[in-house]
């Protein structure tokens, strides 16, 4: 057996995706170890979940730094302290600068609550409802300097129902996130996922489109 992949997770809020990842590791569906959970928000409820799971936590409050570069630099030092092999953004709400994203190129993932490239940025559920479209979802992507613009690994689609509110739609999307994020991290941990010249390579093949979870779920 090889050593488990060393992960640091960055959160800002509830950390329910973090919980799903912790659960996958506990169920031995993910050969990884979360070395630390770091939050920019000292009041993030996810810090408690990490603590309860016996994972070291750290707060790096962006409000205590003079500028974004100083925050990014402190964050980078904290992450590298753990000999981190993969950085996982799990509801992390601060935009990261180009030096930071370059440092972790090919070894940082994000889960975004939309079917990218639709609805980058914030308030995706409200914007999907306002657009009166029939389908929404979540995407796991490699993080690059372009906000929510890195190559997408896997997406999960959910229907938008006539009587949906932001809350009901957000919960449906979250349930899909809990499936695709541990799966994408597992592929990375198994050495099956790489960023090659700005494109996703999975099992030695360059993806021409994101993996669609609905189609793949029965076979992998
Ligand atoms: N950084 C880079 N360079 N590239 C990405 O793809 C990133 C990133 C940082 C975070 C997550 C992202 C999301 O999935 C993410 C992807 C925060 C904002 C934002 O506007 C936008 C997108 C994401 C995260 N943040 C405000 C800021 O000024 C603060 C908002 C707040 O605190 O509520 O940093 O959606
Ligand atoms: C998730 O829906 C995630 O995709 C989204 O926030 C939620 C976090 O939930 N991320 C972003 O919007 C990033 N800007 P969680 O804290 O319970 O995992």
CB 12 within 8 A of CB 39: yes
d(CA 8, CA 38): 7
Torsion 172-170-188-119 (CA) sign = positive
Q: Is residue 113 within 6 Å of ligand 2 at its C-beta?
A: yes
Region 149-171: mean pLDDT is 98
Share of the chain above pLDDT 70, in %: 97
pLDDT in tens, 117-145: 999 999 999 999 999 999 999 999 999 99
Q: Among 26, 15, 24, which residue's Cα sits nearest to residue 51?
A: 15
Max intra-chain CA distance, the chain: 49
Average pLDDT score over residue span 204-210: 98
In the reported structure, the alpha carbon of residue 63 is separated from the centroid of ligand 2 by a whole-number distance in angstroms of: 20
Predicted confidence (pLDDT) per residue in 174-190, tens digit: 999 999 999 999 999 99
Q: Please say whether the beta carbons of 115 and 137 come within 8 A.
A: yes
Mean pLDDT of the chain: 96
pLDDT digits (tens, 9 = 90+) for 67-117: 999 999 999 999 999 999 999 999 999 999 999 999 999 999 999 999 999
Q: Which of 112, 125, 136, 141 is catalytic?
A: 112
* Token output for 148: 């929510």
Please give the pLDDT value at position 18.
98
Unique residue bearing structure tokens 């929510």: 148
CATH of domain 112-138+154-220: 3.40.50.170
Token couple for 180 = 């695709």
Query: How far is C-alpha 200 from the chain's CA centre?
Result: 15
Q: How close is the Cα of 139 to the center of ligand 2, in Å?
A: 11
- The neighbour count for residue 202, using CB atoms within 10 Å, is 16
Q: What percent of the chain has pLDDT over 90?
A: 95
* pLDDT tens-place string over residues 30-71: 999 999 999 999 999 999 999 999 999 999 999 999 999 999
CATH 3.40.50.170 spans which residues of the chain?
1-104, 112-138+154-220
CATH assignment of 1-104? 3.40.50.170
| pLDDT, position 1 | 63
Our mutation pick for probing the ligand 2 site, out of 41, 91, 150, counting the most ligand atoms within 8 A of Cβ, is 91
């Amino acid at each position: 057996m090889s050593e488990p992949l060393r992960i640091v997770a960055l959160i800002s809020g509830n950390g329910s995706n973090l919980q799903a990842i912790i659960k996958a590791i506990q169920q031995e569906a993910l050969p990884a170890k979360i070395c630390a959970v770091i939050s920019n928000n000292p009041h993030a409820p996810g810090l408690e979940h990490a603590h309860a799971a016996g994972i070291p936590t750290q707060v790096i409050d962006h409000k205590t730094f003079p500028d974004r570069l100083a925050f990014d630099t402190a964050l980078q030092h904290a992450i590298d302290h753990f000999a981190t092999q993969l950085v996982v953004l799990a509801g992390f709400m601060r935009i990261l600068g180009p030096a930071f994203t370059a440092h972790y190129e090919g070894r940082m993932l994000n889960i975004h609550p939309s079917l990218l490239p639709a609805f980058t940025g914030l308030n995706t559920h409200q914007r999907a409802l306002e657009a009166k479209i029939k389908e929404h979802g979540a995407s796991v992507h490699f993080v690059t300097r372009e906000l929510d613009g890195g190559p997408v690994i896997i997406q999960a689609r959910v229907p938008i129902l006539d009587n949906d509110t932001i809350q009901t739609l957000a919960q449906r999307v979250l349930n899909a996130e809990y499936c695709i994020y541990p799966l994408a991290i597992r592929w990375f941990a198994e050495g099956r996922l790489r960023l090659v010249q700005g494109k996703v390579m999975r099992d030695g093949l360059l993806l021409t489109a994101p993996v669609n979870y609905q189609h793949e779920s029965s076979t992998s």
